[in-house]
Chains A and B, each alone.
Chain A
Amino acid sequence: MVRPRAAGLRLTSEGSVPNPLALPLADELRELVGEEGLITEPSRLLSYESDGLVAYRFPPRAVILPADTAEAAAVLRCLHRHRVPLVPRGAGTGLSGGALAMGDAVLVGTARMDRILSLDPVARLARVQAGVVNDDLTAAARPHGLHYAPDPASQSACTLGGNVAENAGGPHCLKYGVTARWVTGLTFVLPDGRVLELGGWGRDATGYDLVGLVVGSEGCFGLATEIELRLLPLPEGVRTLLAVFEDLESAGTAVTDILASGLLPCALEIMDAEAIRAVEASIFAAGYPTDAGAALVVELDGTEAGLDVEAERAEACCRRAGAREVRRARDERERLALWKGRKKAFGAMGRIAPDLLVQDATVPRTQLPAVLRQITEIVRAQDLKLANVFHGGDGNLHPIILFDRRNPDEVARVEHASKEIMCVCVAAGGTITGEHGVGIDKREHMELVFSPVELELMAAVKAVFDPLGLCNPGKVLPLALCPPRDAHAGPEIDVPAVSAGAGARG
């Protein structure tokens, strides 16, 4: 069901200059985290003004960088006492404006919490601080023949804490599942500074699955400081195919056939004609045929034996669906070449337009061809350029609209098209975001997929964790339902300290 949206999306919102921290508060925080843990100089704060979605810019009042759970708890307790809202932030690679501190909020970053605390190769389990970079965990696990499965595109920069907040996916989550499947425990600091130990692999949950609830909550419930994650054996072998089709529909048919045949590839990635041409016109040219309608990258992994037969089956599915050409990588170099076009697509597109709007939505897989057709029409009607690069296996679309933000009329048309794309995806039985999250970017789209009762329940659940509404205010939920605190509602008043709750196994 499609419900009308409340307010418009603003592709270019720039915040005003924030109030500096009151001196007593700044001193108190400096006491807790040291000189290197508190950033207040306006010039340095500028680098925190946006996340991966650079259209939204709000320089924070301050950035606080605790070094461990105890410091984070003390910081949150202090902010709570002063009633100062906070926004948790990892590497700031998110794509929904979720890690921005607006109004009187400060950022609490995990950059100094970057230690891998333990890695048990027998139990295939790691415990890390929230600021550990996704790739660094896999690098540490590789000598043991293990890896961490979720691989968001920003994995060389993004933190595991950020992955937890966003329930991050990646091309390989088709086979291995998203972050929630691999996170088994959290050390979690509530907005009032109490520390909870949640979950723990090997234990049956007692009570509700709070780890499951916290993963993907976009920093609205508190700050995860330590994460326990499961690791997986590195696949013994890998086979990568590139299938070239005359049109997107055939590529979609191939994807459906491959999955129905019992194969579970670790990636099924599709690029449309515009994306192929953009890549081939760029320095990232990967040798994809420029007259093709669609390209499909199929990757299979697992034990070496059996892989060739599976690759043959996948190739047969592609040919049956009308592939005019199927290339199979014979070695790692060729494999990387086949992937190159897909991986560099966004970069290539960035070279042909000043600005890109990368949308993110999921539809039931069988709806892909129809939805893609509708999206093309929508964008064409607004006289805009569109390219599609997406995770075909799980129906996760990433339409990319090219524009120039200096042209206000074009921006308005992009916003219009973007909203219509959301409506089309929801009408097809899909949802407004598959992996980028809601943040501020899509909070007003929430009413497309959720009823007033559902949104009220979400607001009430947030209030259980964060009764004062101090944690990542103004994100995820429509503003009308969960307004950010008024900057003049008495920040930095002195309130008696709350006692620190000691953590216990939960």
Chain B
Amino acid sequence: MTVAAADPAAVLRDLLPPEQLLTGDAVRPWGVWGWPPRTVAFPRSTEEAAAVLARASAEGWTVEPAGSGTWLWSGNSASPPDLVLSAARMHRVVEHEPGDLTITVEAGVRLSALDLHLAPHEQWLPLDPPGRCRTLGAVASTGVWGPLGAAWGGPRDLTLGVHAVTGDGRPFQAGGRVVKNVAGFDFVRLLIGSRGTLAFLTEVTLRLYPRPATDRTLVVRGRGLDDLVEGAVAAASQPVTPAAVELLERFLPWEQRWEAVLAVRVLGLEERVRAEEEVIRAVLLRAGAGPVEELPAKEADAFWREVRLLEEDMDLTLRFATLPARIGELVQLARAVGRMRNGRDALARSPVRMAIHGGAGALRMAVPNLRVDSGWAERWAERLEDLRRTVQWRDGSLTVTRAPAAVVERLGAWESPGPAGELMAGLKGVFDPAGILSVDRFVLDLDRHEPA
């Protein structure tokens, strides 16, 4: 990447007050894969974001959209951007009409803050994506979801509308505030999961649900994950749809240590929960190696937090997906990753961890302390590539959500979209004609084609 002639900070001082810009050493925490940008800008409105992007497109600066910055270590590694554009200071609730069960918030509002806002209204947003400090802009932009995704759908199903700015600074809206809308082409679904390559999101409108009156987590322990896989499939294929079916390896609740846990979360009105619980208990009892327990609220919170933070501070994190009924095959394939690590001591001290969203057929894996010896990066990239092919061959997918740069550079975080990549590059050209947004960070085909 050639360095743009003008210093972004100097130019942006005309557009934003100084307290909304970071330069010098202060930009370090905002590095993309640790490579610091030249400047970080914090617009406070759609208009400010539009002004910055219009200028960036004119100047040819590369721009990495961000929220609180937690995804900057994810995706493909690229050269450092000229500018990180963060929505972190856009954190107002724009509109909340409780009777409509919808809310519009600025993109920098964090999930935790949204939850605090909604609690007094007895409402909630059924989303539990991995990671800390997630902003709603980042959740929409990455499209990620967690255990609740199986029952509620992910951001794709819960986002009703967005305000956004194209790469060349044109503000636009997609979708709206209503739950049913077929006017025009569905840009909301196009933007969800586009990882900042098409537009910078400034506001998000979400569909809400009443906060469940009862929220129960039932668990059984197993000797190992494999013992419980069938139970997870069974729990997810009952006529009742639990809010979440989760398999977790090596859960460490305080002093006791469980090798594997199958947890089912049932929530809603008390009467319904009680009815569904009965069905689920029977399934769990057959699946587990012990009695079915109901986790006390505090422990249940700890459990779901553990799932949410599975990937934190890990060297290599992967996401496998397949049909829910075939999750067992995926577990077997994923085990190969554990075997790739050298040295039994490393394995014992810091085990590979897996969390499986049973109802959705997703498996998240986190590997700490990758051994770094000569040739390790090539070896890992090669093995993961093989594994990806095997998973693809079984109609699944393998995404590298985080890996050392040397590995992900060789492998690519996502598989190639194939012939559809050409259309995607064309779409990229429509929304980001100067090609400045999140360059080389998402599926690589986007930046390899000349826009139509």
Which positions in A face B, CB cutoff 8 Å?
A: 122-125, 145, 166-167, 169, 173, 177-178, 180-181, 194, 196-198, 200-210, 212-213, 215-217, 220, 233-236, 256, 259-264, 302-306, 309-310, 313, 362-366, 391, 394-396, 429-438, 442, 446, 449-451, 453-455, 457-458, 460-465, 467, 476, 501-506
Q: Which residues of B contact A451 (CB under 8 A)?
A: 172-173
CB distance from A371 to the nearest CB of B (A): 12
B35 beta carbon closer than 8 Å to chain A: no
Residues of chain B lying within 8 A (CB to CB) of residue A166: 182
**Cβ–Cβ < 8 Å partners of A261 in chain B:** 210
Given contacts A178-B180, A501-B419, contact A366 B100 (CB under 8 A): yes
Q: A504 vs B198: C-alpha distance in the bound complex, in angstroms? A: 24
Report Cα–Cα, A217/B182, bound state, in Å.
9
Do A180 and B189 have beta carbons less than 8 Å apart? Answer: yes
- Give CA–CA (A164, B275) in the complex, Å: 35
Q: Which of A124, A205, A394 has its CB near the most chain B CB atoms (within 10 A)?
A: A205
Residue in chain B with minimal CB distance to A179: B182
| Bound-complex Cα distance A458 to B280 (A) | 46
Chain A proximity of B109: nearest CB distance (Å): 20
B159 to chain A, nearest CB (A): 11
Per the bound structure, the CA–CA distance linking A309 and B143 in Å amounts to 36
Which residues B95-113 have CB closer than 8 A to chain A?
97-102
Write out the residue numbers on chain B whose beta carbons fall within 8 Å of the beta carbon of A173.
180
Partner of B181, one of A203, A366, A431, A458: A431
For residue B272, CB closer than 8 A to chain A, the reply is yes
* Contact segment of B70-78, B308-316, B421-429: B421-429
Question: Which B416-449 residues sit within 8 Å CB-CB of chain A?
Answer: 416-421, 423-424, 426-427, 429-431, 442-443, 445-446
Q: Are A454 and B172 in contact (CB under 8 A)?
A: yes
With A204-B321, A209-B192 as known contacts, state yes or no: A438 contacts B184, CB within 8 Å.
yes
B194 lies within 8 A of A366 (CB): no
| A431 in contact with B452 (CB, 8 Å) | no
Take A207-B417, A207-B445 as given contacts and tell me if A263 and B269 are in contact as well, using a CB distance cutoff of 8 Å. Answer: yes
Do B420 and A196 have beta carbons less than 8 Å apart?
A: yes
Jot down 26 A-B pairs with beta carbons below 8 A, ordered by A. Answer: A167-B182, A181-B153, A200-B395, A207-B443, A208-B198, A210-B420, A213-B190, A217-B185, A220-B185, A264-B209, A303-B276, A306-B274, A309-B271, A362-B178, A362-B180, A364-B178, A365-B101, A366-B100, A395-B179, A430-B178, A434-B182, A457-B172, A460-B430, A464-B423, A464-B427, A502-B419
Q: How far apart sit A302 and B421, CA to CA, in the bound complex (Å)?
A: 41
- A169 lies within 8 A of B180 (CB): yes
- CA gap between A435 and B181 in the complex, in Å: 7
Q: Is the beta-carbon distance between A125 and B183 smaller than 8 angstroms? A: no
B189 touches A213 (CB 8 A): yes
Q: Are B184 and A450 in contact (CB under 8 A)?
A: yes
Do A203 and B190 form a contact, CB below 8 Å, given A145-B239, A178-B180, A430-B178? no
Cross-chain contact A123 with B325 (CB below 8 angstroms): yes
Min CB gap A6→B, angstroms = 15
- Indicate whether A453 sits within 8 Å of B397 (C-beta atoms), given known contacts A166-B182, A206-B414, A465-B423: no
CA distance A305 to B276 in the complex (A): 8
- Does any Cβ of A come within 8 Å of B176's Cβ? yes
Main secondary structure of the interface of A (DSSP, over half): loop
Is the CB of B166 closer than 8 A to any CB of chain A? Answer: yes
Residues of B within 8 A of A430 (CB): 176-178
User: B271 — which chain A residues lie within 8 A by C-beta?
Assistant: 305-306, 309-310
In the A-B complex, the 10 residue pairs with the smallest Cβ-Cβ separation, listed nearest first, are A212-B189, A305-B275, A506-B420, A464-B426, A202-B323, A306-B272, A207-B417, A309-B271, A306-B275, A366-B99
Query: Is B222 at the interface (CB under 8 A from chain A)?
Result: no
Contacts of B446 in A (CB 8 A): 207
* Docked pose: A163 CA to B231 CA in angstroms: 35
B residues in contact with A208, CB < 8 Å: 190, 193-194, 198, 424, 427
Task: Report the Cα distance A342→B399, complex, angstroms.
Answer: 48
With A167-B182, A200-B395, A432-B183 as given contacts, are A364 and B321 in contact (CB-CB < 8 Å)?
no
- Min CB distance, A226 to chain B, in Å? 15
List of A residues within 8 angstroms of B319 by Cβ: 204
Q: Closest approach, in angstroms, between the C-beta of A251 and any C-beta of chain B? A: 14
B382 / chain A contacts, CB cutoff of 8 Å: none
- With A216-B186, A262-B212, A366-B97 known to touch, is A207 a contact of B420 (CB < 8 Å)? yes
CB distance B423 to A457 under 8 Å?
Answer: no
Closest-CB distance, A299 to chain B (whole angstroms): 16
Taking a contact as CB atoms under 8 Å apart, the answer to whether B430 and A396 are in contact is: no
Tell whether, in the assembled complex, residue B153 and residue A177 are in contact, meaning their CB atoms are under 8 Å apart: yes
Instruction: Tell me if B182 and A212 are in contact (CB < 8 A).
Output: no
**B419 A446 Cβ-Cβ under 8 A:** no
Indicate if the CB atoms of A391 and B274 lie closer than 8 Å.
Answer: no
A202/B395 in contact, CB under 8 A: yes
Chain B residues with CB under 8 Å of A310's CB are: 269, 271-272
* B396 engages A203 (CB within 8 Å): yes
Residues of B103-150 contacting chain A, CB below 8 A: 122, 143
Our count of residue pairs bridging A and B at CB distance below 8 angstroms stands at: 259
Tell me the bound Cα distance from A462 to B423 in angstroms.
11
Residue among B99, B182, B194, B275 with the most chain A CB within 10 A? B182
- Point out the residues of chain A lying under 8 angstroms from B395, CB to CB: 200, 202-203
B184 & A454 in contact (Cβ 8 Å cutoff) = yes
A364 CA to B143 CA in the complex, in Å?
25
Known pairs A209-B190, A306-B274, A458-B184; A505 contacts B99 (CB<8 A):
no
Q: Given the complex, which residues of A lie within 8 Å of B274, measured CB to CB?
A: 305-306
A464 touches B430 (CB 8 A): yes
| B178 pairs with A429, CB closer than 8 A | yes
CB proximity to A under 8 Å, residues B182-209 = 182-187, 189-190, 192-194, 198, 209
Taking a contact as CB atoms under 8 Å apart, the answer to whether A196 and B186 are in contact is no
CB distance from B416 to the nearest CB of A (A): 7
Does any Cβ of A come within 8 Å of B217's Cβ? no
A362 touches B426 (CB 8 A): no
B69 at the interface (CB under 8 A from A): no
Q: Mark B71-100, 1 if CB is under 8 A from A, else 0.
A: 000000000000000000000000001111
Check B442–A362 contact: CB distance below 8 A. no
**Bound complex: CA A442 to CA B182 (Å):** 11
B323 with A125: CB separation less than 8 A? yes
How long is the Cα–Cα vector from A207 to B421 in the complex, in angstroms?
Answer: 8
User: Are B184 and A259 closer than 8 Å at their CB atoms?
Assistant: no
Contact of B430 among A177, A461, A501, A506 (CB under 8 A): A461
**Which of B101, B180, B237, B431 is within 8 Å of A122, CB to CB?**
B237
**Residue of B179, B186, B426 touching A167 (CB-CB under 8 A):** B186
* B190 and A206 contacting across the interface, CB-CB below 8 Å: no
User: Beyond A213-B185, A429-B176, A454-B184: 11 further Cβ-contacts under 8 Å?
Assistant: A177-B157, A206-B417, A208-B193, A209-B192, A210-B420, A309-B271, A453-B172, A458-B185, A463-B452, A502-B419, A506-B421
* B423 neighbours in A (Cβ, 8 Å): 196, 210, 464-465
Taking a contact as CB atoms under 8 Å apart, the answer to whether B180 and A303 are in contact is no
Assess whether A464 is in contact with B452, with CB atoms less than 8 Å apart: yes
B59 within 8 Å of A (CB atoms): no
A206: which B residues are within 8 A, CB to CB?
397, 399, 414-417, 443
Is B278 on the interface with A (CB-CB < 8 A)? yes
Contact of A123 among B190, B272, B324, B416 (CB under 8 A): B324
**8 Å CB interface, B334-348 against A:** none
User: Any chain A CB within 8 A of the CB of B6?
Assistant: no
- Whether B289 is near chain A, meaning CB under 8 Å from some CB there, is no
A167 CA / B157 CA spacing, docked (Å): 13
Q: Does B55 contact A (CB under 8 A)?
A: no
- CB of B402 within 8 Å of the partner chain: no
A216–B185 CA distance with the chains assembled, in angstroms: 7
B8 at the interface (CB under 8 A from A): no
B323 close to A201 (CB less than 8 A)? yes
Contact with A along B269-290 (1 / 0, CB 8 A): 1011011101100000000000
Distance, CA A18 to CA B298, complexed state (A): 72
Contact with A along B204-240 (1 / 0, CB 8 A): 0000011111000000000000000000000001111
Contact of B268 (CB < 8 Å), options: A262, A432, A465? A262
